[in-house]
Amino acid sequence: MTKLWGGRFQKSAEQWVDEFGASIHFDQKLVLEDLEGSRAHVKMLGACKILSDEDTALILSGLDTLEDKALAGDLEYSTANEDIHLNLEKFLIDEIGPVGGKLHTGRSRNDQVATDMHLYLKNRVHEIIEAVGQFQGAIVEQAEQHVETIVPGYTHLQRAQPISFGHHLLTYFWMLQRDKDRLTESMKRIDMSPLGAGAMSGTTFPIDREMAAQHLGFSAVYPNSIDAVSDRDFIVEFLSNASMLMMHMSRFAEEIILWSSEEFRFIELDDTFATGSSIMPQKKNPDMAELIRGKTGRVYGNLFGLLTTLKGLPLAYNKDMQEDKEGMFDTVHTLMGSLPIFEGMVRTMTVRTDSMEKAVSSDFSNATELADYLASKGMPFREAHDVTGKLVFTCIQRGHYLLDLPLDEMKAASPLIDGDIYETLKPRTAVDRRKSYGGTGFGQVKIQLQQAKDLLGR
C-alpha cells in the first residue's frame, strides 16, 4: 500500500518494520478527539477562505460519517497507515475522494497529535475529578457514622493516642481534596491548543489559531509553535498528580488490609469486595485493596518512563514522543478502575466498633493525658513526662494499665494527682478534650465533617 507520505520513497518498508513504527494499535483510543480536532481545523480553514465552502462542507460531512462508523466500531484500522491520524485521513479520502486530502492543509501530525492529547486529557481529568469526589463521598458517609467511635491512633505503628475513627477516616478526605485541587489546577495547562503550530514553525496559510481553539473549547493557544509540538509536560504533570493520588490510595489500602486482619479486627470488608482462597477455606482476602496498592507501582513507572523519554530530546518533535501514550492511557484506566472500587469498598465495609473500643481500653494510649494533667497543674511538662513514664513502667511490670492504678500509688508518684484523674484517663474523655482546631475532639470532628460536606456540595 502506498503511504500518504510516500512520494520521495523508492522502496517501502517491510511489514515488520511498519509494525514497529506504528501506534495505531493504541492511539486508536484518540479517534474521537482526532475527528474533533479535524473538524475544528476544517471549519477554521473554511472561515479563513483557505478552503472553499463546498470543500469544507464535503470534508465535514465525511468526518461525520467517520465518526458514525467509529462509534459503530466499523473502522478497520491498518498498521500500514501507521497511526490514528493517517488512518483517518485515508478513510476520509476513501469516503469523499481526493478532496479529503485538503484536510491536512496548514497542519502537521505534530500539532495534530498534541491537540488530540490535550483534548483527551481534558475530558479524562474531568472524569477523574468526578470519581475522586464520589470516593470522598463514601469516606464522609462512613466518617459521619463514626465521629464518636474511639480507636487507637498510631505513630510508628505503635499505639499513640486515642482518636475518633471518623477523624482518622477524614484524613483521607483531605488528602484526596488536595489531589482534586492539583488536578483542577493542572487544567490550566491542559486546556491549551497546540493546533496551528504545524510541524514546528507555524504555516504560510492565513490561519486563525484562536478560532480553531474556540471550536475545541480550549481557553488558550500555545504562544510558541515550537513549544506547542515539543513538550509533553502537561502529561508528565498529569502522571505526577496521578501518582500522588495513587500514593494516597495505596496508604489507605494498606490500612484497610491491616484493619481487616485478625490481628486488628477493626473492619470487615463486604463479601462483594473480598475474595477467597483456592486452598484455605477460611480465608477472606482484601484483594481489591492489595491490587490498588500494587497498581500504584505501575503509575509511578509511567511517570518515570515519560520523564526519562523526554529528558534528552532536542527540539522539536521526535518520534520518541509517540511513547507518551500508553503510559497515559494505562494511568487513566488504572485510576478509573481503582477509584470506584475503593469507593465501594469503603461504602460497604463494616466497622467493628467493639474491637476498636476494646483495643483502646487495653493500652497506654492515654499516657499523654496523665502527663498533660500534671502539666496543667503546674508541673513542667518534661517532669510530668518522666513521672508518667515511671507509672507506665510499673503497670507494664504488673501487667495492667494506668486506669488500674490505685489512687494512693498515683499520689505517691505526684501529690498533684487527685481522684478526677480516672475520668481524665478514659479514652473517650481523652478524645473529646482535644478541642484544639483540627483536633480529634467530637465537636472539632463535626466541624471538619461539615467543611467536608460543604466542599462536596452536600
Q: How far is the CB of 72 from ligand ARG (least distance, A)?
A: 24
Q: Is 29 in the site for ligand ARG (CB under 6 A)?
A: no
Q: Is 316 in the site for ligand ARG (CB under 6 A)?
A: no
Q: How far is the CB of 95 from ligand ARG (least distance, A)?
A: 21
Q: Which of 261, 277, 362, 376 is catalytic?
A: 277
Stretch that binds ligand ARG, among 105-113, 186-194, 232-240, 305-313 (CB under 6 A): 105-113
Kindly calculate the radius of gyration of the chain based on its CA atoms and give it in whole angstroms.
31
Q: Is 39 in the site for ligand ARG (CB under 6 A)?
A: no
Our CB check for ligand ARG shows the closer of 306 and 387 to be: 306
Q: Is 81 in the site for ligand ARG (CB under 6 A)?
A: no
Look up 156 and say whether it is catalytic. Answer: yes
Q: Is 317 in the site for ligand ARG (CB under 6 A)?
A: yes
Q: How far is the CB of 83 from ligand ARG (least distance, A)?
A: 4
Q: Is 23 in the site for ligand ARG (CB under 6 A)?
A: yes
Using the rule CB under 6 A, which residue among 39, 102, 107, 109 binds ligand ARG?
Answer: 109
Q: How far is the CB of 30 from ligand ARG (least distance, A)?
A: 9
In the stretch 361-390, what mask flags binding to ligand ARG with x, by CB under 6 A?
Answer: ------------------------------
Cα(360)–Cα(374) distance, rounded to whole angstroms?
22
C-alpha cell of residue 394: 510499673
In the region spanning residues 151 to 210, those forming contacts with ligand ARG, defined by CB under 6 A, are: none
Q: Is 113 in the site for ligand ARG (CB under 6 A)?
A: yes
Q: Is 273 in the site for ligand ARG (CB under 6 A)?
A: no
Question: Residues with catalytic annotation?
Answer: 156, 277
Binding residues (CB under 6 A) for ligand ARG: these are 23, 27, 83, 85, 109-110, 113, 317, 319, 321-322
